Structure 1
Amino acid sequence: MRPRVVVLAKAPRLGRVKRRLARGVGEAEALRIYRACLAATLRRLGRDPRWDCVLAVAPDRALTGWPRPCQTRPWQTRPQGHGDLGERMLRGLAGGPGGRRRGPAVLVGGDIPEITAAAVAGALARLRRADAVFGPSEDGGYWLIGFRRPPRRTDLLAGVRWSSPQALADSRERLARAGLTTELADPLADLDDRESLRRWRRTARSRP
């Protein structure tokens, strides 16, 4: 089966996205940053022929107002469904509400400014020797999660301390309890708050 790349995204609406970031830079700037990151993600990943592309949206009825790259082929739009972040991610990796797909899949957020097709392909390659893969971020969370086979349960990540420095460690521990092996992909920054935005901008300016 062809692998799938799923992008988990909220409808880009003022006051509804990147709320922690908005507390530091304002709602309008947070929305601008989010739209730019999401559009770049869809453009970079959507033009790669190695995988099928799925955009998992919230709220479930939000099918309009998305950046142009997701309004055309190859992106298939699916609702995220109910539940906490872990449940929605696992449902997206399994093929959506009521769905069950075979083959490997990885899921990313829409707020990873340095995401590339090569980074995603590297994560998929790690699924040849592990049940699951995580792409770590510097704040203790992760920018990517993937499974070699669709997860059969949406409670595998129950109890993870989301939006905390323990999110990655908690997630790996939950999967280990379920008997699943994990590997780490290359780290990338995500833009969750004002400090992470500052760190990324400093790093971007220092590059040759």
Structure 2
Amino acid sequence: MTPPDTAVCLFAKPPRAGEAKTRLIPALGPEGAAALARAFLADTWALLEQLPWAEPVLTSPAPWPEALLPAPGIAVWPQGEGALGARLERVLARALAQRPFAMALGADSPGLPAAHLARARALLAEADAVLGPSEDGGFYLLGLRRALPPGALEGLPWSAPDTLACTEQRLRALGLRVARAEPWFDVDTPHDLERLRAAGTDAPATRAALERLGPPGRLER
């Protein structure tokens, strides 16, 4: 069997009540929002484990309790300190020291089709960097075939409507060939949750969590 050639680094934080999915706390309460975050993480990890070309890696900005791991025995890479750009650079550089290709992936996109990830991996055969656009103007995935120079992502606007555009512009300014993967959407608000329900995506843990939390009408906008 051919070993995986792509480290897929899942960027997440421990799904503790009061700290996870905070924009959903007004609708779901701290425990409900944390339960949903755990479901998102479980579905995303299960997806990555099914990809024969991928080596899943869980990364975190904070210590991760073993009880909250998406699967037993997972080693967690520390992201280190700094803004998101510095942490992305650090984790992806470590991953590229071990595999020919590396991706950083968020945990806010349950139901992300495996085909989207496979397409991103295929694009890395020709491009230096791949971005997976999110519909809110950010990106759910950043793939690289070589490490970025220190400070390459410094000063970019994060969680902004122009995050994707600014990141792509920065990468191109560094001389990288940049490709875009298929777009997808993050789930951050009650409206996003209702869209996720309607989409009927393959995210069994998330679907079960939503059923326990109640019908769509319960989720306040």
Normalized against structure 1, the TM-score is what?
0.85
Higher share of residues assigned helix: 2
Cα deviation, residue 102, structure 1: 4.9
The residue correspondences of 1:176-191 to structure 2 (distance < 5 A) are 176-191=172-187
The answer (yes or no) to whether the contact 1:8–1:107 under 8 Å persists in 2 is: yes
Say yes or no: does 1:172 pair with 2:168: yes
Q: Which residue of 2 aligns with 1:87?
A: 86
Say yes or no: does 1:109 pair with 2:106: yes
The answer (yes or no) to whether the contact 1:11–1:65 under 8 Å persists in 2 is: no
Cα deviation, residue 24, structure 1: 4.5
The residue correspondences of 1:41-190 to structure 2 (distance < 5 A) are 41-59=44-62, 61-69=63-71, 71-72=72-73, 75-95=74-94, 100-153=97-150, 155-190=151-186
Q: CA RMSD, aligned part only?
A: 2.2
The answer (yes or no) to whether the contact 1:132–1:147 under 8 Å persists in 2 is: yes
Cα deviation, residue 170, structure 1: 1.1
* Runs of 4+ residues over 6 Å off in structure 1: none
**Rg (Cα) greater in structure:** 2
The answer (yes or no) to whether the contact 2:156–2:166 under 8 Å persists in 1 is: yes
Report Cα offsets for 1:103-138 as digits up to 9, x if no partner. Answer: 111111112111243321210111112110011111
What is the identity percentage for the equivalent residue pairs of Structure 1 and Structure 2?
A: 37
2:68 aligns to what SS in structure 1? coil
Pick which of 119-128 and 189-198 moved more.
Answer: 189-198
Paired letter, 2:6: P
Say yes or no: does 1:35 pair with 2:38: yes
Normalized against structure 2, the TM-score is what?
0.80
Report Cα offsets for 1:150-194 as digits up to 9, x if no partner. Answer: 2232x2222222111111011111111211121111111111233
Cα deviation, residue 201, structure 1: 3.0
Q: Give the number of equivalent residue pairs.
A: 198
> What are structure 2's unaligned runs of at least 5 residues?
202-221
Paired letter, 2:190: R
